[in-house]
Copies of this chain bind each other. A is one copy, B any other.
Amino acid sequence: MAISEFFIRYLQRRQELSAGELCRLRALSSERVEFESGEFILSSRNEAGRSGIMLQGMAARVHRNMTTPDSRVITGLYFAGDFIELQGFVTRPPDSGIVSMGRSSVEFVRQEELQQVAAEYPGLARLFWMTTAIDAEVLRQWQVAATSLRSSAHLAHLFCELYTRLASVGAAQDLVLNLPILQREVAEILGYSAIHVNRAARDLRDRGLVRWIGSEVVILDWEGLKRLARFDPSYLSLVN
């Protein structure tokens, strides 16, 4: 199947594409796959040598906790338009991978073919490379937030980032997010226990900033939330 316009539209969030580049991208062959909640989208082995682009839904990069192997650590989140495992040249431990959070739909491209496109169009190579760099920059900001903010301010920062990212691709609006994610999974992102996430969420509720019921998160006071989280979206490198 030909590659979807999603892919192209999301690339254009970051950089203008020439006519030749557009044409070459449209000639890529791809395969769309739907995933159920909790399924592995790409395992650490990445046997098929594939890269993926999120079309719908949400996915997380999970690692095994080093001391309690039954719990996990999440080091990245991916939404519509985000690349996943684009590179494929990093050796990863056998217990990390990309997991679908809720239902999701992913478009796969063979890595060889991407490398081929990158070789033909240096501008696209640069764009793919930039994607990896932005992913790393988001992680850096997570680390800065983790050491700078605690409890509810830290959770507020996550909500600010997620709303900004989702709104930028039209997957959220009017200060409402749909996050198919449990408190336990938020804990795996922030490095807290699930119970502490619950307390942080209660604090945001008590302050009248956020209402979080089930998978629906409603931001009641965007300015107040940003202020508490000291949120500055520039690290997301969004053009709009």
Verify if A75 is at the interface (C-beta below 8 Å from B). yes
Docked-complex contact B90 and A144, CB < 8 angstroms: no
Verify if A34 is at the interface (C-beta below 8 Å from B). no
A150, chain B: closest CB distance, angstroms: 9
Which residues 92-144 in A have Cβ within 8 Å of B in the complex?
Answer: 92-93, 115, 118-119, 122, 125-126, 128-130, 132-137, 139-140, 142-144
A61 to B137: give the CA distance in the assembly, Å: 12
Chain A binding surface, main DSSP class: helix
Verify if A87 is at the interface (C-beta below 8 Å from B). yes
Verify if A145 is at the interface (C-beta below 8 Å from B). yes
Question: What is the count of identical protomers in the complex?
Answer: 2
Docked-complex contact B129 and A122, CB < 8 angstroms: no
Q: Bin chain A's interface residue count.
A: 35 or more
Q: Name A187's closest neighbour in chain B (CB-CB).
A: B147
Docked-complex contact A66 and B230, CB < 8 angstroms: yes
Partner of A147, one of B73, B118, B126: B73
Verify if A237 is at the interface (C-beta below 8 Å from B). yes
Docked-complex contact A143 and B75, CB < 8 angstroms: yes
Verify if A240 is at the interface (C-beta below 8 Å from B). no
Verify if A149 is at the interface (C-beta below 8 Å from B). yes
Known: A140-B75, A143-B142. A130 touches B65 (CB 8 A): no
Contacting residues, chain B, for A140 (C-beta < 8 A):
61, 63, 75-76, 139
Docked-complex contact B67 and A230, CB < 8 angstroms: yes
Contacting residues, chain B, for A230 (C-beta < 8 A):
66-67
Docked-complex contact A133 and B89, CB < 8 angstroms: yes
Q: Chain A: residues with CB nearer than 8 A to chain B?
A: 61, 63, 65-68, 73, 75-76, 87, 89-93, 115, 118-119, 122, 125-126, 128-130, 132-137, 139-140, 142-149, 191, 230, 232, 234-235, 237
The 25 listed contacts between A and B (C-beta, < 8 Å) are A63-B140, A66-B144, A67-B148, A67-B230, A75-B143, A89-B126, A89-B130, A89-B237, A90-B133, A90-B237, A91-B235, A92-B137, A92-B235, A118-B122, A118-B126, A119-B125, A125-B125, A129-B129, A129-B132, A136-B136, A139-B143, A142-B143, A143-B143, A146-B191, A147-B191
